[in-house]
Amino acid sequence: MFDINELYDYVYKEFKIKLEAYKEVQMHRRIEFFISKTSAKSIKDFIDLCKKNNIIKEQFLDLITINVTEFFRNMDIFLQIKDVFRKALPKKEKYMIWSSACSNGAEPYSVAMILENINVHNYKILATDIDKNVLDYANNGIYSEDEIGEVPNYYLIKYFEKYGNKYKIKNFIKDKVVFRRHDLILDEFPVCMDLILCRNVVIYFKKEEKMKIYNKFYKSLNDNGIVFIGATENIYDYQQIGFNKWGTFFYQKVVR
């Protein structure tokens, strides 16, 4: 329908996002559907529209960055983080955690609440995403009733406070999380991590990009560190990378 390469060039120049790394069929389908709902008749028309209409531009950015998340996503699986800290990770003075592609902050705040609830207080969470707008939203830590719908009542009472008709993360939780922009394809990865969460993100990438990311995660981890992936994902050839399978969705870095 469209010359997609022209749009890819625009996206990289404007947002510093490399769409070539994403699975082509799914991404093209999403983009074409979005453009069909606008007045644009060509890629050039659509680019011009984005330049003139900031709302369309922001909606398009939301589309290509795929911001989908919720608190305690896949609750039964997510709560296994308790066992990661009780059984898998060695005791240490401070734990470093990376919530990659954190979207609106629900994931890193959920991790912080779980750790506080099991009396693990010596940790810091780096939360990153490609989209600066969702990072700003996450850093505010204010959520609607719909957004906190999956938060157990005990956690809601203990770790949130009412903020008008919304809910705000309490400061002692917010202070544990640092938000930064990061691109899993283009940017250097942080190091010395004990737990990395990358859930329901790499499913959108091509196979070769997935393997590059998982290899970089391996290098980012401390010995015995854990990668926690999404409920629809697997790391194929994980032993070749240097992981053992600690749980269904958890992979542990082998000490060599």
Greater model confidence, 63 or 249: 249
Residues 10 and 136 grouped into a single domain:
no
Of the candidates 65, 89, 116, which is a domain's last residue? 65
Question: Does residue 241 carry a pLDDT above 90?
Answer: yes
Residues 86 and 60 grouped into a single domain:
no
For 6, list phi and psi in degrees, rounded to 5.
-65, -40
Averaged pLDDT, 41-64: 86
Q: Chain-wide mean pLDDT for the chain? A: 91
In this structure, are residues 193 and 216 in contact, taking their beta carbons and an 8 Å threshold? no
Question: Does residue 148 carry a pLDDT above 60?
Answer: yes
> Is residue 70 included in any domain, yes or no?
no
Question: Does residue 53 carry a pLDDT above 80?
Answer: yes
Sign of torsion, CA 29 68 202 21?
A: positive
> Is residue 215 included in any domain, yes or no?
yes
Instruction: Give me the pLDDT at residue 232, please.
Output: 81
Instruction: Give me the pLDDT at residue 205, please.
Output: 86
Q: Provide the domain count of the chain.
A: 2
Task: Return the number of other C-beta atoms located less than 10 Å from residue 224's C-beta.
Answer: 15
Residues 128 and 36 grouped into a single domain:
no
Question: Does residue 2 carry a pLDDT above 70?
Answer: no
> Is residue 146 included in any domain, yes or no?
yes
Sheet strand arrangement including 221-229: 177-181, 123-129, 95-99, 193-198, 221-229, 250-253, 243-247
pLDDT tens for residues 131-145? 888 999 999 999 999
Greater model confidence, 55 or 105: 105
Residues 24 and 136 grouped into a single domain:
no
For residue 57, the enclosing domain spans 4-65
Which pTM value belongs to this model? 0.84
Residues 45 and 98 grouped into a single domain:
no
Residues 172 and 120 grouped into a single domain:
yes
Question: Does residue 165 carry a pLDDT above 80?
Answer: yes
Lookup result for tokens 């992936």 = 229
Q: Where are the alpha helices (DSSP H) in 16-53?
A: 24-36, 43-52
Least confident of 6-20, 91-105, 207-221, 230-244: 6-20
Question: How many Cα atoms within 13 Å fall on the side-chain side of residue 223?
Answer: 5
Instruction: Give me the pLDDT at residue 202, please.
Output: 86
Instruction: Give me the pLDDT at residue 41, please.
Output: 85
